[in-house]
């Protein structure tokens, strides 16, 4: 049995992932990872509850993979990271979904159908797609505790919410007020913004300029000119708004004076004869009073004094109208908000049915749309209309009945967030937002323009508002639980639910805190006469989700909830998409700030990673109706979870919207996961062939060696280099993850994978192929070979740990095969970096082997293993090789053909010795016999001396362009000579001597034309293209080896299969085969090489190399 399970490179990723998923399930690895960290500090994660009444889409995948990454990472860093799932179950979307399903339309239908069955349907529908969600969660490897999820309709959750609302009520932060909502006068119901969006239509409305006479009209004949497209709101006018920082003109028309924005005088007046007599800023108008157009509204005592005055408002624009806006707080959101701020009364002269109220004289009972015409006529008759036009604009209509909507101030319950918004803003400032601009940008602005939270909904399926009101409305009380209710005087109706349940045992017990059963509970009012009844509304479901920090534990009612809550408050980390700024992010922050005065900010979350939208290939929002929707389950089934995860981590920062497509996922997979799997597979193939066993316990071969390979200083450059890269990557990734920089850490991982595959392995292959020299493995070559194994082994094992939070399946697959399989027996050691740095893998320090990589510690970087100088050297060497290949390509000289020498000219001649230290790697990579260095190499190269702008700029400022020119004009070779000998040079610039030292310039070299050469920043590489018969023969031999290898592949021979080999062909071919016989046999694992004959029964292959023709014969031994 091989030490390592051979890697099936044709294996589909999803199959391998399914195996790992099964392993996690069998061993309950997630729970183990929690148990393992028992007693350690807790790192708190809050799950933003999704609604499960729709199928998950790709955006949910992004959210979930980001939510999964950091808890996994923090767990490996030694924290205990409980992850309680949650479900958002209330709200209008659920009701609408059920309405659709039942073919109902509007509240009337629901009442007819029956609230009880409707609510039951809502509850059932909530988990309609639960199976899909759980499937997705499991498939993408999102570790979260689904069994212990919080559910917003559960009794304990609802009672927690009640408790919090009672607290707000007691602090006078919960009150009854008005809110302007788009309503359908026919259906008599408010519409959600989503519904409004469905019904926009272009209509033509009258647009009128109306004059509001100033209070002193009799004396001054002055009035304010305002514009509106809704004449029916004019009787309900309560104020006028101007822009404070804009000029307003007094315009004389006839014997009257009109006040209007100076900038709009010409467009409004047109041909009308007029004269501007004076102008003043808008701020000067503020506070002036005027006479109402229709004096129908009487108002309560003292109310009339508050109405009909000029206010300043930000929203006044000079695009249309007269620069003065008519304000009807009952029929406009801006109007209402301004009215609240300025203390204007809410004048309601239109009923919810759209008809003018009885107060309206002759107009009483008119439908608002029909009233427009007559109202205008009335104004004109009374000389209050300047002019009338028509205005085409989009206007919302009811998507059900097509009636024009009216914006209507309705009664409702509000949270007085505006009172505490300063504290909310302070709290927000302490939160770490990613990207940062959310804090003061989108979210900060939102907070700055905060209005009170409209909490109540006149619907059925939601947390009931726990306010009980006396019949005359004089007493109000908030209730925090059923128990609280039960203690009320003269309570009745608590048994309503029990009775219902007795009649229908299928009734879910959690429904006892819901409508309509809870509405049956009444009790005696403090006056001892009236009954206290619950106000009928339910609450906004966003309040539910914002309550999760405490409500998920049933705090404060549930036993032990105080501890649970305090331990998990505030959260270290949350993450959701950008659309949650006004949703969950706000509800969390607002509730926490209002409820927990004494908690030090920030709370209830410290860090928030805000995610962008997942778009289609063209960058457009995905939607099922557009047909550009990509089903994540399809990609999970084909490409696999890790590919999907890696795509989201590595394609861009998570807050930029990503273009999601199968092609893009495959690309990400190819670049990283496939490359990694190839390296892993390579290791397994050769480790198995050579019997490399990290446990050291299998057979005598490794007993004599110190397990873990030679100490670092004794290993070769390549090994030390890749281990240095590994440890640098380790610290880089740790640091970036600590900073929540997903994209940055993914790039680091990508880069290491590239280095490992394209350079370390590429250059080390020979060490893996090479046979052992001696049984005792004491030969230097054998020690070096063992080092190669240990080095690659350590890279793979550590890398598996590094990538574990990102691609948990792949990571564990590597771990299971590379670590668990050979080392997993009881008592066997687990690789752990030493702290001495003497050896990087020190098996003496091994402890128990975790069953899964996710139970391991995240790797620490050993600073002693990091060798920055070596890293720079290797970068230069890689550049040289790249340049050399460039030359070969240009000269059409295959790498197989050996060349006599390469001449290197380094930009920095001091690096000669360093590069010479890598001579062997260079010789092999470029396939040359000799590496030479040319110091004064003017025949090949020319120099270019440029200023180091950063230094020169700071020092010489505006002299810089002249210095640049002077350096350009000077003889570059001469300058270089100067710098080489003196370390500085003197330039004549602007009649002054400027002394430049070595650091202040940058000397680069370029290859001269006409040579087989190529140049980069660090070096020029010149190839000796002169071919000798010996070189050509060797090249030919390599061609032969290549053909033989291809033949081996055709025969599908095992890597270690030995063969007998025959070569018969042209005289030159046979001659080369003889001359390089040993080399050919070694490279192709041929025990025997016959030249010039072709034994019977051997498999033959025609060859054609360098225009020589022949036949190869192979026979497996």
Partner RNA sequence: GGGCUCGUAGCUCAGCUGGUUAGAGCGCGUCCCUGAUAAGGACGAGGUCGGCUGUUCGAAUCAGCCCGGGCCCA
> Which 319-338 positions form the footprint of RNA (CB under 7 A)?
319, 333-334
| 207, 658, 745, 798: residue in contact with RNA (rule CB under 7 A) | 658
Among 754, 920, 982, 1088, binds RNA (CB under 7 A): 754
Q: How far is CA 707 from CA 226, 789, 1079, in A?
A: 90, 11, 33
**Cα gap 645→142, rounded to integer Å:** 10
User: What is the footprint of RNA within residues 140-199 (CB under 7 A)?
Assistant: 193
Stretch that binds RNA, among 26-34, 206-214, 548-556, 613-621 (CB under 7 A): 613-621
CB of 782 to RNA, least distance (A): 16
Site string for RNA, 992-1031 (x = CB under 7 A): ------------x-x----------x--------------
Residue of 379, 1084, 1098, 1105 that binds RNA (CB under 7 A): 1084
- Sites for RNA among residues 545-604 (CB under 7 A): 578-579, 581-582
Which of residues 530 and 1045 has its CB atom nearest to RNA in the complex? Answer: 1045
Give dist(CA 880, CA 875) in Å, integer. Answer: 9
Q: Does 681 bind RNA (CB under 7 A)?
A: yes
Determine if 9 is a binding residue for RNA (CB under 7 A).
Answer: yes
663 vs 1095, which CB is nearer to RNA? 663
Closest distance of CB 8 from RNA, Å = 10
Close Cβ partners of 92 (under 8 Å, ≥ 6 residues apart): 192, 457, 459, 541
Q: For residues 576, 582, 587 and 591, what is the CA-based torsion angle, rounded to 10 degrees?
A: 130
Cα–Cα distance, 803 to 76 (Å, whole number): 11
Helix axes 417-429 and 584-595, enclosed angle (nearest 10): 100
CB of 960 to RNA, least distance (A): 3
Stretch that binds RNA, among 25-33, 148-156, 279-287, 1037-1045 (CB under 7 A): 1037-1045
Specify which residues 225 forms β-bridges with.
211
Nearer to RNA (CB atom), residue 132 or residue 671: 671
Element (H, E) at 279: strand 275-281
Closer by beta carbon to RNA, 554 or else 947: 947
Indicate which single residue of 417, 463, 657, 791 sits in contact with RNA (rule: CB under 7 A).
Answer: 657
Phi, psi of 1116, rounded to the nearest 5 degrees: -70, 140
Identify which range of 31-39, 699-707, 1049-1057, 1090-1098 contacts RNA by CB under 7 A.
1049-1057
Q: What x-and-dash track marks residues 764-793 binding RNA by CB under 7 A?
A: -x---x------------------------
Q: How far is the CB of 332 from RNA (least distance, A)?
A: 8
862-901: which residues touch RNA (CB under 7 A)? 882, 885-886, 889-890, 892, 894-896
Bridge partners for 181 per DSSP: 408
Residues 6+ positions from 579 with CB-CB distance below 8 Å:
none
Q: Which stretch binds RNA (CB under 7 A): 315-323, 497-505, 696-704, 718-726?
A: 315-323
Binding piece for RNA, criterion CB under 7 A, among 226-234, 560-568, 783-791, 1078-1086: 1078-1086
Among residue numbers 621 through 640, which ones bind RNA (CB under 7 A)?
621
Near RNA by CB under 7 A: residue from 192, 450, 628, 757? 757
**Residue from 836, 939, 1025, 1046 in contact with RNA (CB under 7 A):** 1046
* DSSP secondary structure code for residue 999 in this structure: G
Site for RNA in 913-972 (CB under 7 A): 944, 946, 949-950, 952-954, 957-958, 960-961, 964
d(CA 56, CA 139): 13
Residue 671 interacts with RNA (CB under 7 A): yes or no: yes
* Residue entry with tokens 């023709």: 1109
Residue 1093 φ then ψ, to 5°: -140, 165
CA distance 225 to 687: 90
Beta-sheet strands, E only, within 307-439: 309-312, 325-327, 385-396, 406-415, 432-434
Interface residue with RNA among 738, 844, 1056, 1117 (CB under 7 A) is 1056
Helix (H) or strand (E) holding 375: helix 368-381
Burial of residue 880 (CB within 10 Å: 0-12, 13-18, 19+) is: buried
Per-residue exposure over 894-922, b if at least 16 CB sit within 10 Å of its own CB, e if not? eeebbbbbbbbbbbebebeebbeebeebb
- Secondary structure of 681-720 in HEC code, one letter for each residue: HHHHHHHHHHCCCCCCCCCCCCCCCCCCCCCHHHCCHHHH
Exactly one of 659, 698, 706, 783 binds RNA (CB under 7 A); that residue is: 659
Beta strand 174-184 with 189-190 is: antiparallel
Judged by CB under 7 A, the residue of 27, 220, 758, 971 near RNA is: 758
Residue 664 touching RNA (CB under 7 A): yes
Identified binder of RNA from the candidate list 155, 160, 223, 651, rule CB under 7 A: 651
Residue 973 touching RNA (CB under 7 A): no
CB of 321 to RNA, least distance (A): 12
Q: How far is CA 301 from the centre of its chain?
A: 57
Residue 1051 binding RNA, by CB under 7 A: no
Which residue among 1061, 1085, 1089, 1114 contacts RNA (CB under 7 A)?
1085
Q: Is 515 left (phi over 0), alpha (psi -120 to 50) or beta?
A: beta
Tokens of 598: 């004494």
Following CA atoms 212, 217, 220, 223 in sequence, which dihedral angle do they give, to the nearest 10 degrees? 0
Contacts of 760 (CB under 8 A, 6+ apart): 718, 721, 722, 792, 795
Over the window 447 to 486, marking each residue x when it contacts RNA by CB under 7 A and - when it does not, the resulting string is ----------------------------------------
Q: Number of residues in contact with RNA, rule: CB under 7 A?
A: 86
* 652 near RNA, judged by CB under 7 A: yes
Nearer to RNA, 279 or 681 (CB): 681
Q: Which is nearer to RNA, 856 or 928 (by Cβ)? A: 928
* Cβ-Cβ contacts under 8 Å for 496 (sequence gap 6 or more): 517, 520, 521
What's the closest the beta carbon of residue 779 comes to RNA, in angstroms?
18
Q: Considering the rule CB under 7 A, would residue 685 count as an interface residue with RNA?
A: yes
User: CB neighbours of 467 closer than 8 A, spacing ≥ 6?
Assistant: 165, 169, 174, 413, 476, 477, 478, 479, 534, 535
Q: What Rg do the C-alpha atoms of the chain give, in angstroms?
A: 40
List 23, 674, 914, 1027, residue binding RNA (CB under 7 A): 674
Q: In the structure encoding, which two tokens stand for residue 362, read together? A: 């002759």
> How far is 1117 from 1113, CA to CA, in rounded Å?
13
* Cβ at position 747, least distance to RNA in Å: 7
The one segment of 112-120, 546-554, 678-686, 916-924 that binds RNA by CB under 7 A: 678-686
Q: Which is nearer to RNA, 147 or 950 (CB)?
A: 950
Catalytic residues: 49, 88, 542, 580, 584, 621, 624
Q: Which two tokens stand for residue 587?
A: 């509800």
- Nearest approach in angstroms of CB 804 to RNA is 21
Stretch that binds RNA, among 360-368, 469-477, 535-543, 668-676 (CB under 7 A): 668-676
Q: Which is nearer to RNA, 538 or 1047 (CB)?
A: 1047
Smallest gap from residue 586 Cβ to RNA (A): 11
Using rule CB under 7 A, residue 283 touches RNA: no
* Of 445 and 703, CB closest to RNA: 445
| DSSP class of 857 | P
Rounded distance, CA 616 to CA 269, Å? 51
Smallest gap from Cβ 301 to RNA, in A, equals 32
């Amino acid at each position: 049995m091989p030490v390592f399970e051979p890697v099936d490179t044709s294996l589909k990723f999803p199959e391998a992932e399914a195996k790992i998923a099964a392993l996690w399930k069998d061993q309950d690895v997630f729970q183990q990872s929690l148990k393992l960290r028992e007693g350690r500090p807790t790192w708190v994660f809050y799950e933003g509850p999704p609604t499960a009444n729709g199928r998950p889409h790709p955006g949910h995948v992004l959210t979930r993979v980001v939510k999964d990454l950091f808890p996994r990472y923090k767990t490996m860093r030694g924290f205990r990271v409980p992850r309680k799932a949650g479900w958002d179950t209330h709200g209008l979307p659920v009701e609408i979904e059920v309405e659709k399903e039942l073919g109902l339309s509007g509240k009337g239908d629901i009442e007819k159908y029956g609230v009880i069955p409707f609510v039951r349907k809502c509850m059932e529908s909530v988990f309609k797609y639960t199976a899909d969600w759980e499937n997705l969660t499991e498939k993408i490897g999102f570790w979260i505790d689904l069994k212990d999820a919080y559910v917003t309709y559960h009794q304990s959750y609802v009672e927690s919410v009640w408790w919090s609302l009672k607290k707000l009520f007691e602090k006078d932060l919960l009150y009854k007020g008005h809110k302007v909502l788009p309503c359908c006068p026919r259906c008599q119901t408010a519409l959600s913004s989503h519904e409004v969006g469905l019904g926009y239509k272009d209509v033509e409305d009258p647009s009128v300029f109306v004059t509001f006479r100033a209070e002193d009209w009799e004396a001054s004949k002055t009035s304010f000119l305002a514009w509106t497209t809704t004449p029916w709101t004019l009787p309900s006018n309560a104020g006028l708004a101007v822009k404070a920082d804009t000029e307003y003109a007094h315009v004389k028309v006839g014997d009257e004076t009109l006040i209007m924005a100076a900038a709009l005088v010409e467009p409004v007046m047109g041909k009308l004869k007029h004269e501007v007599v004076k102008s003043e800023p808008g701020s000067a108008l503020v506070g002036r009073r005027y006479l109402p157009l229709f004096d129908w509204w009487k108002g309560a005592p003292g109310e009339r004094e508050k109405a009909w005055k000029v206010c300043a408002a930000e929203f006044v624009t000079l695009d249309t109208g007269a620069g003065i806006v008519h304000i009807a707080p009952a029929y406009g959101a801006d109007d209402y908000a301004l009215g609240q701020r300025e203390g204007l009364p809410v004048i309601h002269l239109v009923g919810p049915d759209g008809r003018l109220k009885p107060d309206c004289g002759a107009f009483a009972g008119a439908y608002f749309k029909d009233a427009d015409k007559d109202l205008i006529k009335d104004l004109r008759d009374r000389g209050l209309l300047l002019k009338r036009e028509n205005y085409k604009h989009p206007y919302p209509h009811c998507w059900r009945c097509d009636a024009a909507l009216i914006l209507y101030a309705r009664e409702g319950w509000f949270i007085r967030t505006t009172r505490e918004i300063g504290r909310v803003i302070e709290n927000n400032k302490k939160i770490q937002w990613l990207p940062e601009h959310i804090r003061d940008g989108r979210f900060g602005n939102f907070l700055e323009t905060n209005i009170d939270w409209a909490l109540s909904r006149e619907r059925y399926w939601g947390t009931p508002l726990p306010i009980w009101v006396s019949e005359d409305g004089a007493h109000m009380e908030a209730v925090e639980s059923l128990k609280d209710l039960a203690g009320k005087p003269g309570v009745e109706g608590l048994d309503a639910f029990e009775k219902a349940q007795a009649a229908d045992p299928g009734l879910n017990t959690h429904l006892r805190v819901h409508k309509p059963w809870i509405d049956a509970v009444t009790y005696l009012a403090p006056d001892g006469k009236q009954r206290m009844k619950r106000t009928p509304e339910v609450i906004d479901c966003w309040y539910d989700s914002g309550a999760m920090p405490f409500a998920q534990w049933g705090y404060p009612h549930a036993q032990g909830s105080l501890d649970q809550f305090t331990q998990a408050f505030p959260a270290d980390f949350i993450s959701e998409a950008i659309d949650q700024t006004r949703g969950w992010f706000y509800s969390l922050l607002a509730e926490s700030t209002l409820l927990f005065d004494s908690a030090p900010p920030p709370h209830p979350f410290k860090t928030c990673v805000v995610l962008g939208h997942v778009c289609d290939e063209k960058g457009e929002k995905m939607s099922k109706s557009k047909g550009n929707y990509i089903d994540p389950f399809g990609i999970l089934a084909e490409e696999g979870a890790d590919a999907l995860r890696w795509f989201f981590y590595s394609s861009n920062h998570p807050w930029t919207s990503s273009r999601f497509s199968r092609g893009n996922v495959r690309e990400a997979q190819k670049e990283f996961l496939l490359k990694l799997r190839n390296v892993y597979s390579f290791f397994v193939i050769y480790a198995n062939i050579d019997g490399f066993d990290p446990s050291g316990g299998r057979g005598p071969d490794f007993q004599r060696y110190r397990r873990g390979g030679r100490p670092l200083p004794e290993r070769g450059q390549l090994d030390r280099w890749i281990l240095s890269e590994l440890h640098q990557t380790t610290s880089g990734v740790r640091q970036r993850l600590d900073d929540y920089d997903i994209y940055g850490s993914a790039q680091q991982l990508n880069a290491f994978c590239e280095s490992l595959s394209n350079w370390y392995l590429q250059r080390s292959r020979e060490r893996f192929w090479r046979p052992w020299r001696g049984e005792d493995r004491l030969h230097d070559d054998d020690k070096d070979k063992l080092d190669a194994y240990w080095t690659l082994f350590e890279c793979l094992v550590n890398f598996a740990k590094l990538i574990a939070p990102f691609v948990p399946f792949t990571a564990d697959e590597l771990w299971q095969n590379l670590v668990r399989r050979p080392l997993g027996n009881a008592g066997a050691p687990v690789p752990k970096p030493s702290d001495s740095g003497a050896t990087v893998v020190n098996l003496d320090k091994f402890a128990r082997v975790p069953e899964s990589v996710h139970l391991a510690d995240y790797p620490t970087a050993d600073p002693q293993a990091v060798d920055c100088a070596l890293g720079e050297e290797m970068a230069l060497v890689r550049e040289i090789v790249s340049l050399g290949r460039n030359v070969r390509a240009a000269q059409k000289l295959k790498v197989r053909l050996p060349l006599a020498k390469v001449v290197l000219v380094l930009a920095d001649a001091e690096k000669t010795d360093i590069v010479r230290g890598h001579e062997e790697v260079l010789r092999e990579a470029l396939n040359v016999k000799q590496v030479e260095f040319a110091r004064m190499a003017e025949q090949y190269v020319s120099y270019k001396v440029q200023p180091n702008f950063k230094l020169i700029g700071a020092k010489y400022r505006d002299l810089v362009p002249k210095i640049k020119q002077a350096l350009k004009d000077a003889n570059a070779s001469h300058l270089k000579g100067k710098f080489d000998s003196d370390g500085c040079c003197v330039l004549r610039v602007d009649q002054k001597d400027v002394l430049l030292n070595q650091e202040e310039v940058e000397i680069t070299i370029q290859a001269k034309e006409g040579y087989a050469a190529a140049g980069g920043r660090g070096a020029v590489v010149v190839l000796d293209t002169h071919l000798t018969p010996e070189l050509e023969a060797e090249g030919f031999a390599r061609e032969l080896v290549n053909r033989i290898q291809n033949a081996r592949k055709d025969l599908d021979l095992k890597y270690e299969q030995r063969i007998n080999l025959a070569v018969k062909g042209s005289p030159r071919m046979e001659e080369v085969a003889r001359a390089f016989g040993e080399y050919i046999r070694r490279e192709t694992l041929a025990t025997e090489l016959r030249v010039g004959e072709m034994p019977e029964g051997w498999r033959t292959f025609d060859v054609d190399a360098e225009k020589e023709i022949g036949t190869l014969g192979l026979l497996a031994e």
